[in-house]
Amino acid sequence: MEQAFSSVIALIFLSRVQVIQVFSHRMYMEAIETLAIQRDLPSAIRNQQIKPVFQPIVSCITGEIVGFEALARWQHAELGAISPARFIPMAEESNLIVELGEQVLTQSCQFIQRFNEIRAEQQQPQLSVHVNFSAHHFSSSTLLENLRTTLQESMLAPQHLVIEITESMLIERPNESVKRMEQIKQLGVGLALDDFGTGYSALNTLCQYPLDIVKLDRSFVLRLMDGQQGEVLVRAIVNMARDLKLAMVAEGVETHEQMLKIKALGVEEIQGFYYYRPMLAADIFALTEAKLSVEVCS
């Protein structure tokens, strides 16, 4: 009996040691990775190794692509794919985010201009690209001049560019933000409020700012499936956006059931894995050309 008891104690002790060892090993590896990311980020940005991929935004009424969102991707030589959720906050801590933001902006404008040229040949409507801006980039003194130059050089009409900003950016500096938003709108560029509902502001935020589009955060799409309360909340947001003449995009729709619920609430535009994952520009062109050749042959 005494022997069995001491074996159990020994086992518990051993497994604790193992847990602590596994835990500290994982933490150690994460710390090493973070250091490597911090070390390599400046040169990755300088050498333009971070590139945008594009996720289609789709009309759930027609099933057609109605726009794209540009999302930054970094394929690290040793660590593999690194999530923007990891490297964007690091870039934000320094002025590097402005340089990265400018690169993503330029490549996104070039992509959508080329895409629209193909569509124009087919007499198809022109589409827009959404680009995420960080607070630093949004408030930078060179932003308006750079926007003008980028649009001019890519020959993109300003209405085909949408800048996505987040609620936290607006809450931190409301007066400056409204002024900046108005300047951007004067250029003819659209504005979207990203991740709406992630915790910062009430519904009335929507009427305070000169916005064109509200992007309903994925957490709402998930809550919608939870039952009555989620549905009441999303319905209120959708109705308010409609009254304010704001377009709405639901983010992170992954299943047919979610798509049907969103559609039933009157949201027409959806961005999510249910339709498409983010894709390389080359794959989007290949898809478009394949679709066109099917149409020509049939």
The alpha-helical segments, DSSP class H, found in the chain are 2-46, 84-92, 96-121, 135-138, 143-154, 167-172, 174-186, 205-208, 218-224, 228-243, 256-264, 281-297
# of chain residues touching Mg ion (CB under 5 A): 5
Q: Which stretch binds ligand C2E (CB under 6 A): 30-38, 183-191, 206-214, 270-278?
A: 270-278
State which of residues 33, 99, 254, 268 lies at the interface with ligand C2E (CB under 6 A): 254
d(CA 85, CA 106): 21
Residue 197 in the binding site for ligand C2E (CB under 6 A): no
Residue 113's binding partner among ligand C2E, Mg ion, none (Cβ under 5 to 8 angstroms by kind) is none
State which of residues 44, 57, 72, 165 lies at the interface with ligand C2E (CB under 6 A): 72
Is residue 214 within 8 Å of 191, Cβ to Cβ?
no
d(CA 60, CA 213): 17
Residue 40 in the binding site for Mg ion (CB under 5 A): no
Residue 104 in the binding site for ligand C2E (CB under 6 A): yes
Residue 56 in the binding site for ligand C2E (CB under 6 A): no
Report 220-249 residues binding Mg ion (CB under 5 A). none
Task: Provide the 8-state DSSP code for 123.
Answer: T
Residue 164 in the binding site for Mg ion (CB under 5 A): yes
Q: Which is nearer to ligand C2E, 24 or 34 (CB)?
A: 34
Is residue 240 within 8 Å of 203, Cβ to Cβ?
yes
Q: CA 227, 232, 234: angle at the middle one, nearest 5?
A: 100
Is residue 209 within 8 Å of 182, Cβ to Cβ?
no
Q: How many CB atoms lie within 10 A of CB 210?
A: 11
Instruction: Note the Cα 232 to chain centre separation in Å.
Output: 25
Residue 140's binding partner among ligand C2E, Mg ion, none (Cβ under 5 to 8 angstroms by kind) is none
Q: Which is nearer to ligand C2E, 238 or 262 (CB)?
A: 262
Give the x-and-dash track for 129-158 against ligand C2E (CB under 6 A): ---xxx------------------------
Residue 36 in the binding site for ligand C2E (CB under 6 A): no
Q: Which residues bind Mg ion (CB under 5 A)?
A: 132, 164, 194-195, 251
